[in-house]
Structure 1
Amino acid sequence: MPKPLTDQEKRKQISVRGLAGVENVSDLKTNFNRHLHFTLVKDRNVATKRDYYFALANTVRDHLVGRWIRTQQHYYEKDPKRVYYLSLEFYMGRTLQNTMVNLALENACDEATYQLGLDMEELQDIEEDAGLGNGGSGQENPHLISPSPPPVLSACFLDSMASLGLAAYGYGIRYEFGIFNQKIVNGWQVEEADDWLRYGNPWEKARPEYMRPVHFYGRVEHTPDGVKWVDTQVVLALPYDTPVPGYRNNVVNTMRLWSAKAPCDFNLKDFNVGGYIQAVLDRNLAENISRVLYPNDNFFEGKELRLKQEYFVVAATLQDIVRRFKSSKFGSTEVVRVDLSTLPDKVSGHPAERHPPSPDMGEGTVLVPLLKQKCCTKNRSPLPLTISFYMHLCVLPLSQAWDIVTRTCAYTNHTVLPEALERWPIDLFQNLLPRHLEIIFEINRRHLERIANLYPGDHDRLRRMSLVEEGDQKKINMAHLCIVGSHAVNGVARIHSDIIKATLFKDFYEVDPHKFQNKTNGITPRRWLVMCNPGLAEVIAERIGEDYIRDLDQLKNLLEFVDDDSLIRDIAKVKQENKLKFSAYLEEHYKVKINPNSMFDVQVKRIHEYKRQLLNCLHIITLYNRIKKEPNKNWTPRTIMIGGKAAPGYHTAKLIIRLITAVGDIVNHDEVVGDRLKVIFLENYKVTLAEKIIPASDLSEQISTAGTEASGTGNMKFMLNGALTIGTMDGANVEMAEEAGEENLFIFGMRVDDVDAMDKSGYDAMEYYNRIPELKLAMDQIAGGYFSPDQHDLFKDIVNMLLHHDRFKVFADYEAYIKCQDKVSALYKNPKEWTKMVIHNIAGCGKFSSDRTISQYAREIWGMEPSLERIPAPDDPRQ
């Protein structure tokens, strides 16, 4: 029997036509050895595998540099409108393989490393994930000085912006420690620091010449000469640039991440009184701003460090934006723009996550809140970001400055969960950013004045729409500030956009309905198909050509082959090869042997009550009990895999992980069950693991309570890679069902209207518990210690929550979920019909390309047009 092709060999089969100037294998080998010798100062006698990885990375980077410089020169010469995508998180994953795919270098690099006696996959595995975001796996959203989406989503968007030829820049924080590494110890999550920079990062370039000051604390002086923010503490923002290549169009955009540095004279006045050592140690207080990523997602935590991080990235970025705006070239004339009123014509700001106001840009300038914020991201709690500008060289009245803000900024909301929306205590704001708080108060006064004129006497509406929430502790509602400071507001799936108009931001929608839009999220097919699933990418290319990689709508042409036995056979074969490969990975890394012919039933995402991993767990227990009761029945074998990280302070989420591991311990060691059911918790889920598990999955669990998931992008990745979805009509599942046909997904449970009706009538979990025997048995087993024999009350908090305080109504969907899972098991026994349904799903994925999402943002919010023009490649890609 022939040996299966490796992923590299499969990708070699995909054509690389259309890319000029690719060096031959001999040149690649020469450059590899040159970097090993001159960059790493090693020879083959003493070099390690890590040295070889760095030599290869630098060799590939050589091919980026010329294109990177050429792209920036092109933007300078043409002076297009630019979009700035701000996000506190960019879950980029690994860079080497993605770069080789986008530059069509994989074939040559594979051959060069082979001739050098090296294994490409081993070298790729040495690269650390750039885990600069929370989230299931890593990509999320942008706008005009624009708020961006979730971390994973942010990474997809950057890829699409470059592939579409948009003049775009990603801005974020260069966290020294990214999202924590998760270890499972005795069934519990344990967090370890993610020291991803400990060996260096070959893809970044420090740019100290563009360092910017960011101010904190201090006080405000009102004098006859104007308002001054004085006695501030200054932190320097040092930028590190990373290239972001488009797909085979020679465009290389920039992601700029800021690192906090204390100025040289930071507190050194203490030296005069003998406090030199302490003064130097205190520098850490300033530099802690970029030390660590906040590991909370979908839960707002009002910590001073978090507000500092938000303000830090916005303040530094806005200064950089204005610097670039002022230095421009018109034809052959270099000029310095001083009229900031034209800023919206050249700048589109789209903030992602939460971002606050910004810093002083010069002496005697007026502070102006210029920009908006964005709320939440897919893998991050919906957090708005407020952006304020100090206008430099030109003193503008607040009304004119605010007009510039609203024309420049757009706001994307990424959550409807109230605990995830950002509300900053006024006392904290007053201490950290006193001048910005004054401006927010003035913006709020003018905003409420307008509302009062529109709705005379409606004091309750004024209270609901105020930017300042009253109560025991006054707070700034950042989502409200974002809406008021933006010309466009959007949700990230149609159902989500409808919900925010009908509930969350109903008052604002009634006042400014023209502002509200929908932009359904998407994923990049380059990373999430061509790179991670080359076998499937090639099978598709054989039938419909390769252009679908740039135009995912062409996948609908697969419907012509839905009854083609050869396509059905080829897709099933690719899936089985992926499952065999992942089974070997699990056996090596998890020391567990699974049945590769079983159904791979997968739920990977953040661990959160609204994601309802508990509903999945109840199905596992029910299936286990059924097999125990009828061991001789012809059961469909399943390997159920759940993965994701819980925020370190989220007790319930960590207890959910413990329950999953406890159930797995019992199920996996029960000889009666055997390999008909296995339960695995996937430790330390991240982008690199997602790239392995998603292509191998048969069933994708997207089972959140209807009306709680903004969109989801993991659901799209599974769909594109040939997994069928079991899910509620929530988030993007609704549109996935429309595109593929609802009959080609396993849809179950309450719809949004049903949930709303239940909220009004009241949800009684005990009614379901007493009425459904299988549910009662499962809950009694959890409560009685069946899965925790050494500590019977271990899961009492989960039991109490499900029975008495469950906001997400797990029991209400239990019956429908179990019946739907029975349909899944029945269909899986018919491989041909299962695969035909898979083909329908893949063919329906066109809408869910991030290229489509970004094109809509560009045309409908940013006022830009995507370009299919290719920038000429440098004559020598090493230059």
Structure 2
Amino acid sequence: MAINLTKNQFKEDFLNEIHAAYATDLDGTSAFDQFTVLGRLINHYNGRNYAKTTKKYFEEDQKEVYYFSIEFLPGRMLKSNLLNLGILNVVREGITDLGLDFGGIVESEPDPGLGNGGLGRLAACFMDSMASIGMAGNGNGIRYRYGLFKQVFINGYQVELEDDWLKNGNVWEIRRENKACLVRFGGNVWMRPTTNNRLEAVYENTEDVLAVPYDTGMIGYQNDVTNTLRLWSAEVPPAGNEKYYTHEQRDRISQITQVLYPDDSSMEGRILRLRQEYFFSSAGIQSIIRFYRKNHKTMDELPKQVAVHINDTHPTLVIPEMMRILMDECELGWDQAWKLTTECMSYTNHTILQEALEKWQIEIFKELLPRIYQIVEEIDRRYREEMLPKYGEDIVNQTAPLGDGQVRMAYLAVIGSHSVNGVAPLHTELLEKDVLKELFYIYPTRFNNKTNGITDRRWVQISNEPLSNLIDSAIGKEWRNNPKQMELLGQYSDDDDFLEKFANAKKNNKIAFAKFVKETMDIEIDPEAIFDVQIKRLHAYKRQLLHVLEIIREYLQIKDNPQAPFTKRVHIFGAKAAPSYFYAKEIIKIINALAELVNNDPEINDKLKVVFVPNYGVSIAEKIIPAADVSEQTSTASKEASGTSNMKLMSNGVLLLGTMDGANIDIVNAAGKSNAYTFGLTVAQVYNYYENHSYRSVDFYEQNDELKRVLNTLIDGTIPGIKSEGQDVYDALIRYNDEYFVLADYADYVEKQKQISNDFLNKKAWNKRALANVTASGEFSSDYTIERYGDDIWNVPHTKELD
């Protein structure tokens, strides 16, 4: 329930806190000072709920889930916390009464880049949903000193700067030094017999790192529940252990939690990545077992009290780490420890790309984590011993945790868990039939699907207040608690008055985004144009290249006949490329060069614009998504596990232009095929090309004159400043046979783009289709996803019953 706070009480509290914190009046404070004070007040208002929740879980011996993820991408938390406490409007009105700019205060909050995209954002949505449905859930990750990176464009090229999000501290976190853990790396480990016929692990010359937790309260939606997101920071162990740390050793320790995803193109980078993964896996499991033992004298009840979830392969080391603790510290035998561990563990796979299924060279792994390697080696030995008589040498060699001189993390995650899930029906099917088919053959009952979801609290209620208020006026506010209630909007599909209000809400969002673009990028865009949006990580399989080719086609169309009718377009991109991903960075350069050409050609005028918003992240997404008309989800069929950006856009009344891949399929099924634009090869057709080796991209090039002309602009000087980049992309598509079938899907994609331009002119029909997407979007709430995880995998109860 919402906390009881009047506007006058808030204003008094706020002014008192300003005086106490800064010894000045309002005039002497900055927007960031005001944000900090607001954050402190929220912590104060919520402190009792946070303490009560923690105490309740402990006293009632509540089973809890611990969600391990190397990424958490929470976004700015001020408005989210105010909304979930039920005081957003009271605080906004109070701030306005005081003559302050509430929007400016919100914008002053750092947006922590603790993730790279969908994986981290999903984890953050899940944290919000666990608290909001009353599930005892904890996040476990890394407190990166710097975010992913701050992206700037210099001469069109991506340049990575430090994202110093912690330079002024973090008002939401609580440092809990008394709950720190010691994590060991390297050295020598040998097993010493003891008097009770056990083997004791003896460590020598290890590099010890102190893992210090920083806890952030995850506030549930108006239900008095606050869970914990725990992020670990690597520090030098305290003095007193008679060990001196050099500056080099101190730097080596601090590097562990400096940046997300260190460059793994070098040996040094790969070692650092593995150090990160063990660091937070070990610290988290140590913390869990320590907490469990406060209420339990034996380990027998561990799976009834603890669920540990592995979000992609990065935290897989929780499996051997739990085995280490159960055997070395709790003195359990292997069989009992393995049974308890597998019953606690569950694993979500997020990819079918082989290069994303982590593998570590045994030499690196063994030297860095000697005791953990001993345990993995024993898991491998026992697995082979058990499975060889049943399944034969070929299948066992293909699926064992150790093979080809590598530790295979995805296989270890499957073998060491009781549940393995994909994140969309197609993705799960491909895991079972292709990527992990041998393991599915061995463990068929472990595999299941849990379609991803998003939290509409951030992506509609906070990001799109014009739409949210309109929905309230039409069907009441119950949808805010139960998103499937948005189905009631279907009754307004033929209501001209409602559709006009719906269109006005979209227009207001487009005007706001156009203002943002003008102020930050000095580009004028027309809110009456189609806002064609593609926002996601820059990767070849996501095929931003299709979008690039379409812009070139439209540009040439206008140049050929400037007086011909043309439906205005604004093509909007938001994307970061991994610093070492050279090809993706070349595509960014091409997009920016194309923007420079198009946006400054007087013959084009305002018919066509290209906007590449730098430093894409949660806060930028909150501006783009409510303003979008078209959502481009163009991955090669079979390559995108889910793609949750499409769900966010759908819930904001955006029409999908996409392949039948990942969650696109579910969205089309929910909203209806007539309310989306689908194109491209099917999964069966893609796999047929793979099996027959029959794809020849040059055939598509030679047989389509328009495509040939478009591609030639990459190398003929039409687009200035991309001589090498254009040639590399051209060669990838023609000379190296177009790995992701861009040219095969081009013609169908273009036809759908032409259809969009035509359909957009019929505003009423377009708005009906946009409303149909909003109406059907409720089922993709992460509240329902988390409920299914809790009921089907974790066996963790929740207090809120959903439809």
Q: What is the TM-score of this pair, normalised by structure 1?
A: 0.88
Which amino acid letter does the alignment assign opposite residue 369 of structure 1?
A: P
Contact 1:266 1:279 in 2 (8 A): no
Residue of structure 2 equivalent to 1:350: 309
Contact 2:589 2:725 in 1 (8 A): no
Residue of structure 1 equivalent to 2:277: 310
CA shift for structure 1 position 392: 6.5
Residue of structure 1 equivalent to 2:745: 813
Structure 1 residue 490 and structure 2 residue 426: aligned?
no
Identity %: 39
**Range moving further from structure 2, 90-99 or 552-561:** 552-561
**Cα distance in 1 between the residues matched to 2:497 and 2:264:** 44
Residue of structure 2 equivalent to 1:248: 222
Instruction: Kindly report which structure 2 residues correspond to 1:607-622, keeping only aligned pairs within 5 A, or say none.
Output: 607-622=538-553
**Cα distance in 2 between the residues matched to 1:300 and 1:702:** 35
Residue of structure 2 equivalent to 1:111: 93
Residue of structure 2 equivalent to 1:283: 250
Structure 1 residue 452 and structure 2 residue 425: aligned?
no
Q: Deviations over 1:325-348 (max 9, x none)?
A: 1113xxxxxxxx131121000100
CA shift for structure 1 position 299: 13
Structure 1 residue 321 and structure 2 residue 257: aligned?
no
CA shift for structure 1 position 252: 0.7
Q: Which of 342, 356, 360 is the aligned partner of 1:420? A: 356
Residue of structure 2 equivalent to 1:147: none
Structure 1 residue 861 and structure 2 residue 793: aligned?
yes
CA shift for structure 1 position 244: 0.5
Which amino acid letter does the alignment assign opposite residue 464 of structure 1?
A: Q
Cα 1:124/1:56, change in 2 over 3 Å: same
**Cα distance in 2 between the residues matched to 1:763 and 1:184:** 36
Q: Deviations over 1:768-811 (max 9, x none)?
A: 000011110011110122212x5634421111111133221100
**Range moving further from structure 2, 337-346 or 478-487:** 337-346
Which amino acid letter does the alignment assign opposite residue 176 of structure 2?
A: R
Cα 1:856/1:297, change in 2 over 3 Å: farther
**Cα distance in 2 between the residues matched to 1:807 and 1:650:** 16
**Cα distance in 2 between the residues matched to 1:436 and 1:791:** 48
Paired residue secondary structure (2:718)? coil
Contact 2:530 2:629 in 1 (8 A): yes
Cα 1:299/1:588, change in 2 over 3 Å: farther
Contact 1:229 1:435 in 2 (8 A): no
Residue of structure 2 equivalent to 1:339: 298
Structure 1 residue 66 and structure 2 residue 48: aligned?
yes
CA shift for structure 1 position 297: 11
Residue of structure 1 equivalent to 2:320: 369
CA shift for structure 1 position 284: 1.9
Paired residue secondary structure (1:844)? helix
**Cα distance in 1 between the residues matched to 2:551 and 2:59:** 60
Contact 1:180 1:295 in 2 (8 A): no
Instruction: Kindly report which structure 2 residues correspond to 1:402-481, keeping only aligned pairs within 5 A, or say none.
Output: 402-455=338-391, 458-470=392-404, 474-481=405-412
Contact 1:706 1:729 in 2 (8 A): yes
**Cα distance in 2 between the residues matched to 1:832 and 1:669:** 33
**Cα distance in 1 between the residues matched to 2:507 and 2:554:** 24
Residue of structure 1 equivalent to 2:482: 551
Q: Which of 210, 221, 230 is the aligned partner of 2:203? A: 230
Q: Deviations over 1:101-120 (max 9, x none)?
A: 11111121112112221110
**Cα distance in 1 between the residues matched to 2:491 and 2:707:** 44
Contact 1:300 1:419 in 2 (8 A): no
**Cα distance in 1 between the residues matched to 2:139 and 2:462:** 22
CA shift for structure 1 position 39: 2.8
Q: Which of 652, 655, 674 is the aligned partner of 2:586? A: 655
Instruction: Kindly report which structure 2 residues correspond to 1:688-767, keeping only aligned pairs within 5 A, or say none.
Output: 688-761=619-692, 762-767=694-699
Residue of structure 1 equivalent to 2:154: 185
Structure 1 residue 567 and structure 2 residue 503: aligned?
no
Q: Deviations over 1:645-670 (max 9, x none)?
A: 00000000000000101111111122
Cα 1:688/1:624, change in 2 over 3 Å: same
Q: Deviations over 1:95-134 (max 9, x none)?
A: 1111011111112111211222111001111100021111
Residue of structure 1 equivalent to 2:558: 627
CA shift for structure 1 position 554: 1.4
Contact 2:327 2:333 in 1 (8 A): no
**Cα distance in 2 between the residues matched to 1:430 and 1:757:** 40
**Cα distance in 1 between the residues matched to 2:411 and 2:801:** 39
Contact 2:148 2:260 in 1 (8 A): yes
Which amino acid letter does the alignment assign opposite residue 714 of structure 2?
A: I
Contact 1:599 1:638 in 2 (8 A): yes
Q: Deviations over 1:499-521 (max 9, x none)?
A: 00000010111111110000000
Higher-helix-fraction structure: 2
Residue of structure 2 equivalent to 1:801: 732
Contact 2:313 2:349 in 1 (8 A): no
Contact 1:179 1:295 in 2 (8 A): no
Cα 1:801/1:301, change in 2 over 3 Å: farther
Q: What is the TM-score of this pair, normalised by structure 2?
A: 0.96
Structure 2 gap segments, 5+ residues each = none
Contact 1:300 1:422 in 2 (8 A): no
Cα 1:726/1:869, change in 2 over 3 Å: closer
Paired residue secondary structure (1:447)? helix
**Cα distance in 2 between the residues matched to 1:388 and 1:685:** 40
Residue of structure 2 equivalent to 1:75: 57
Q: Which of 145, 157, 160 is the aligned partner of 2:126? A: 157
Paired residue secondary structure (1:338)? coil
**Cα distance in 2 between the residues matched to 1:167 and 1:297:** 35
Which amino acid letter does the alignment assign opposite residue 259 of structure 2?
A: V
Q: Deviations over 1:35-72 (max 9, x none)?
A: 22223444335322221221122122211111111111
Which amino acid letter does the alignment assign opposite residue 201 of structure 2?
A: K
